[in-house]
């Protein structure tokens, strides 16, 4: 009487399963190509990052912190990343960084153009805004499902899930940044006969840059958060260390890898924010 009637079982999952099967048989090559391209480029990026001498990376982080902010920041950042090395997690950190990097780059390649197109059409704006809202309210775990369905396990579905999760801020803030350009400035450019492209590249994008940079910062931070979660679908990296530690109740291992993620987040956040601020003031 109180239980939900079992006969009202809607087998939606079965249909989705059929749909995905259909997708794979008909567009399988398409997903394979995407898979291969992403995987191939990631392997090289990862190899490159792991090939970099550790002291070189520490030095770069130090110099960025120092030049962009001050000597103290540089020293702190260098120390933090050095500590990650002392935990024995250097290579895993680079794996995590690779996925973050790939996801952010893909997010920007997709997100910035979408943000720009949204400023041209109020219809598009009205369609995409609620989708973005939806994307941001959805728990991040949910993105793992389509990722696994389309790309099985490993790095590529991790990048896929991370990209989708990290996409909204850069779209939003590109759109906002361009809409915020003072009307008179746009009109002045138009009154001199600027084409749409000239208006965009000579006026709107340069003016919106500080806002877009803020969006890139947010996207990067979201990517980092998602990368940790996507360890669940087999992305090697710091997140996976945490996952293993939880499963084995290995406090030492969990603490070290957890702390490493925090350090990495601090460094990436601060440095990308400093870069964004640079654009603001110039």
Give the binding site for another protein (CB under 8 A).
Answer: 182, 184-185, 187-195, 198, 202-203, 206-207, 209, 282
CB of 205 to another protein, least distance (A): 10
Q: Decide whether 38 or 208 has the Cβ nearer to another protein.
A: 208
Between CA 135 and CA 126 the distance in angstroms is 15
DSSP state of 2: -
CB of 277 to another protein, least distance (A): 15
In total, the chain counts a number of residues equal to 282
| Among candidate residues 181, 182, 226, 183, the one with its CA nearest the CA of residue 205 | 181
CB of 208 to another protein, least distance (A): 10
Could you give the dihedral angle defined by the CA atoms of residues 21, 26, 27 and 28, in that order, rounded to the nearest 10 degrees? 60
CB of 197 to another protein, least distance (A): 11
Q: Decide whether 41 or 194 has the Cβ nearer to another protein.
A: 194
87: helix, strand or coil: coil
Q: Decide whether 190 or 250 has the Cβ nearer to another protein.
A: 190
Q: Decide whether 133 or 280 has the Cβ nearer to another protein.
A: 280
CB of 161 to another protein, least distance (A): 36
Q: Decide whether 107 or 211 has the Cβ nearer to another protein.
A: 211
CB of 139 to another protein, least distance (A): 40
- Residue 39, classified by CB atoms within 10 Å of its CB into exposed (0-12), middle (13-18) or buried (19+), is middle
Rg (alpha carbons) of the chain, rounded to whole number:
22
Between CA 115 and CA 262 the distance in angstroms is 30
Q: Decide whether 24 or 278 has the Cβ nearer to another protein.
A: 278
**Are the CB atoms for 118 and 124 separated by under 8 Å?**
yes
| Among candidate residues 100, 120, 72, the one with its CA nearest the CA of residue 222 | 100
CB of 198 to another protein, least distance (A): 6
Q: Decide whether 171 or 203 has the Cβ nearer to another protein.
A: 203
Between CA 31 and CA 150 the distance in angstroms is 7
Angle ∠(177,180,184) on CA atoms, nearest 5: 135
CB atoms within 10 A of CB 245: 18
């Amino acid at each position: 009487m109180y239980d939900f009637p079992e006969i009202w079982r809607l087998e939606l999952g079965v249909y989705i399963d059929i749909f995905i099967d259909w997708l794979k048989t008909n567009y399988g090559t398409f997903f394979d190509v995407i898979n291969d391209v992403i995987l191939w480029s990631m392997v090289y990026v990862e190899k490159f990052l792991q090939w970099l001498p550790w002291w070189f990376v520490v030095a770069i982080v130090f110099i960025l912190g120092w030049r962009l902010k001050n000597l103290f920041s540089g020293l702190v950042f260098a120390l933090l990343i050095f500590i990650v090395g002392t935990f024995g997690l250097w290579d895993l950190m680079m794996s995590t960084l690779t996925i973050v990097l790939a996801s952010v780059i893909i997010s920007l390649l997709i997100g910035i153009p979408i943000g720009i197109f949204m400023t041209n059409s109020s219809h598009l704006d009205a369609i995409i805004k609620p989708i973005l809202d939806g994307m941001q309210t959805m728990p991040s775990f949910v993105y793992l499902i389509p990722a696994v369905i389309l790309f099985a396990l490993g790095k590529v579905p991790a990048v896929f899930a991370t990209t989708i999760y990290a996409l909204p801020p850069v779209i939003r803030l590109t759109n906002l940044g361009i809409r915020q350009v003072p009307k008179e400035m746009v009109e002045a450019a138009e009154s001199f006969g600027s084409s749409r492209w000239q208006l965009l590249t000579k006026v709107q994008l340069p003016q919106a840059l500080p806002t877009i940079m803020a969006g890139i910062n947010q996207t990067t931070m979201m990517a980092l958060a998602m990368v940790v979660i996507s360890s669940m679908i087999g992305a090697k990296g710091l997140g996976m260390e945490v996952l293993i530690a939880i499963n084995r109740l290995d406090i030492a291992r969990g603490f070290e890898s957890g702390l490493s993620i925090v350090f990495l987040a601090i460094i990436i956040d601060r440095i990308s924010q400093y870069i964004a601020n640079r654009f603001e003031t110039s």
